[in-house]
Structure formats: structure tokens, C-alpha cells
């Protein structure tokens, strides 16, 4: 969402403000990138939990 906002905002900016906006957009992307990288291990754990095969019981349980 931030990328689409920044891309749309570039079309609206005047030529003299464009060179100020690029460093500002880069500075805004750094915290988001760090947050995404910090959460990356959680996404890997989630995918592994979804794809991991659960072993079946080796014995049969009878209700009492």
C-alpha cells in the first residue's frame, strides 16, 4: 500500500519537489523493511506448520 501511494504521489509532485520526495520515501521504507525482515522467520514457521505432515497414531483408541 505504501509503494502504490508513493508511486502515485510521484506523478503529482512538481519537478522541484521530486528530488526531495525520493530521499523521504527511502527513509520511510527502511523501518517497514526492518519490520518485514524481523517477521520473516515467523512466516517461515507458519508455512512449515501448514505443510508439515502430522503423524498418525500407531494404536487405535476405543471409547469406554
Q: Which residues contact 29 (CB under 8 A, 6 or more apart)?
A: 2
How many whole angstroms separate alpha carbon 27 and alpha carbon 21? 10
Assessment of whether the complete model's pTM goes beyond 0.85: no
> How many CB atoms within 10 Å of residue 25?
16
Residue 21's closest CA among 7, 34, 33? 7
How many whole angstroms separate alpha carbon 9 and alpha carbon 48? 38
> How many CB atoms within 10 Å of residue 29?
13
pLDDT in tens, 3-62: 777 777 777 776 767 777 778 878 888 888 898 899 999 989 999 989 988 777 777 777
Amino acid at each position: 500500500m505504501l509503494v502504490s501511494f508513493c508511486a502515485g504521489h510521484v506523478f503529482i509532485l512538481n519537478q522541484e519537489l521530486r528530488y526531495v520526495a525520493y530521499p523521504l520515501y527511502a527513509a520511510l521504507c527502511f523501518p517497514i523493511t526492518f519490520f518485514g525482515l524481523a517477521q520473516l522467520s515467523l512466516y517461515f514457521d507458519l508455512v512449515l506448520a501448514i505443510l508439515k505432515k502430522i503423524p498418525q497414531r500407531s494404536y487405535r483408541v476405543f471409547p469406554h
